[in-house]
Amino acid sequence: MIKSLTNKDIAIIGYGEVKNVRRSGRTTYDFAAEATSKVLEYTGLSTKEIDGMATVLPSSEAGNNFWSNYLGDHLGLQTSWTQTTDTGGASMPGNIARAAAAIQSGYCEMVLSIAAAAPTTRRVDDQRSYRSEFRNPTGIQGPPGAFGLIMHRYMHQFDLKFEALGKLAVAQRNGAIINENAVEGLRKPMTVDDYLNARMVSTPLRLLDSVMPCDGANAIIITSTDRARKLGVKNMAHPIAYSELTNFNIHDQQPDITDTGFSIVGPQALDKAGMSTDDIDMFHPYDDFLIAEMLQLEQIGFCGRGEGSEYLLSTDISPTGKLPMNTGGGQISAGQPGLAGGQLNIIEALRQLFGEATGRQVPNPSTAMCTGIGVIPYVRNWGTSAVLILERG
């Protein structure tokens, strides 16, 4: 069990990120090694000082029961604690909490949280979910179809203004343009009209509502605050609150598919941190689809249910605005490197908290909220909701 994080005894002391590439031809191991080299260079550490590793099983290694062993071997790590998490896009914020618990419990002292994926090179996963015999014949064809259904339901309940989603898409694209790690093909200007005129993929979901799959990797290092101070670390961020929920509303056989676990874990995380949404300087939500970000805004409590469109239209979400969102482009405009995308927005939050987001720096941020979401199960919204709050050290 995680002890209280509000005493700030855990610190994230560095990050490393590989440039996202649409089709690389490289292996997941290759990307992982590059990201690890970058974070070690950033922190001045060596592999001998890393005694813990947290990761996520990428689609290229589905069925590999020894993934953490082989990955650690490839990276030259001898570890006393390892963790492979399988809650989809919620895995990497979850791994920060799991690493914190391991450090607090004395299992390890220095954890490498590493996410890498090269799905365009090799993909062998075969995702089968509960009641797939009903889901598959209908031709939902993966997440775009599922989120198209979620958007339809939201439109029945509330007023969905596509101009609001377009504004969000443009804001994130502006971040990607000046993010050197974004997929090169996405670093192009975009307007709200471009979004509105994009072709339909699964009505009413448009092409620009969705992420672009790519290859990439990223890594962070987590340790105790005492250890960080002894190392003379100048930049650090403390995970001060975390809340996670899997299989929300599982006992309701006819749930409202716009309801998510964020209605529970959002307020929980804020309460653990002793904060309200007004105390959050930046929001870096998991963003495989724009509608997912709107639902998170509403259910975490930045605005009321059904008020997401008006909130986005009336709020400055640029780096200098009231609530900067996914300032590096997010996955939607920087690319989704498989399940490594679950740590991409966390690294942008760290970059901002460390004052290193050149060209898109949020003025003097102290806090950031990052989120993760999991798989889309049968006749429900996403399977896992996770909220992580970071505070600058």
Q: Is the pLDDT of residue 36 over 80?
A: yes
- Integer-rounded Cα Rg, in Å, for the chain is 19
Instruction: Supply the pLDDT for residue 137.
Output: 60
DSSP for residue 130: T
Q: Nearest 5°: phi and psi at 360?
A: -145, 25
DSSP for residue 54: E
| Tens of pLDDT, residues 89-103 | 999 999 999 999 999
Nearest to 74, CA basis, from 87, 89, 64, 63: 64
Neighbours of 120 (CB within 10 A): 18
* CB-count burial class (<10 Å; 0-12, 13-18, 19+) for 232: exposed
Give pTM, 2 decimals: 0.95
| Tens of pLDDT, residues 61-76 | 766 788 899 999 999 9
Q: What percent of the chain is predicted at pLDDT more than 70?
A: 94
Query: 126 versus 351: which is more confidently predicted?
Result: 351
Q: Is the pLDDT of residue 317 over 90?
A: yes
Instruction: Supply the pLDDT for residue 336.
Output: 94
Instruction: Supply the pLDDT for residue 64.
Output: 72
Instruction: Supply the pLDDT for residue 255.
Output: 85
Instruction: Supply the pLDDT for residue 126.
Output: 60
C-beta separation of 20 from 182 below 8 A? yes
Q: Is the pLDDT of residue 304 over 70?
A: yes
Instruction: Supply the pLDDT for residue 62.
Output: 67
Give Cα separations from 391 to 68, 349, 353 (angstroms). Answer: 29, 10, 8
- How would residue 376 be classed by pLDDT, with cut points 50, 70 and 90? confident
Cβ within 8 Å of residue 296, ≥6 positions away: 260, 262, 266, 285, 286, 371
Give Cα separations from 192 to 54, 166, 294, 298, 321 (angstroms). Answer: 39, 5, 16, 22, 19
Instruction: Supply the pLDDT for residue 136.
Output: 60
| Tens of pLDDT, residues 201-247 | 999 999 999 999 999 999 999 999 999 999 999 899 999 999 999 99
| Tens of pLDDT, residues 133-159 | 665 666 667 788 889 999 999 999 999
Pairing type for strands 367-373 and 384-392 reads antiparallel
| Vertex 108 angle, CA 102 and 94, to 5° | 35
Q: Is the pLDDT of residue 1 over 80?
A: no
Cβ within 8 Å of residue 148, ≥6 positions away: 201, 202, 203, 204, 205
- DSSP-assigned beta bridge partners for residue 116: 217
- How would residue 58 be classed by pLDDT, with cut points 50, 70 and 90? confident
Instruction: Supply the pLDDT for residue 320.
Output: 98
| Tens of pLDDT, residues 267-277 | 999 999 999 99
Instruction: Supply the pLDDT for residue 381.
Output: 85
| Tens of pLDDT, residues 250-259 | 888 778 999 9
Instruction: Supply the pLDDT for residue 131.
Output: 59
Instruction: Supply the pLDDT for residue 59.
Output: 73
- As a whole number of angstroms, the distance between CA 304 and CA 307 comes to 5
Residue 243, SS3 per DSSP: strand
Give Cα separations from 331 to 325, 367, 372, 382 (angstroms). Answer: 12, 21, 12, 17
- DSSP-assigned beta bridge partners for residue 224: 10
Instruction: Supply the pLDDT for residue 370.
Output: 98
Stretch 358-384: mean pLDDT, rounded? 91
Instruction: Supply the pLDDT for residue 159.
Output: 95
Q: Is the pLDDT of residue 379 over 60?
A: yes
Stretch 343-349: mean pLDDT, rounded? 97
| Tens of pLDDT, residues 192-203 | 999 999 999 999
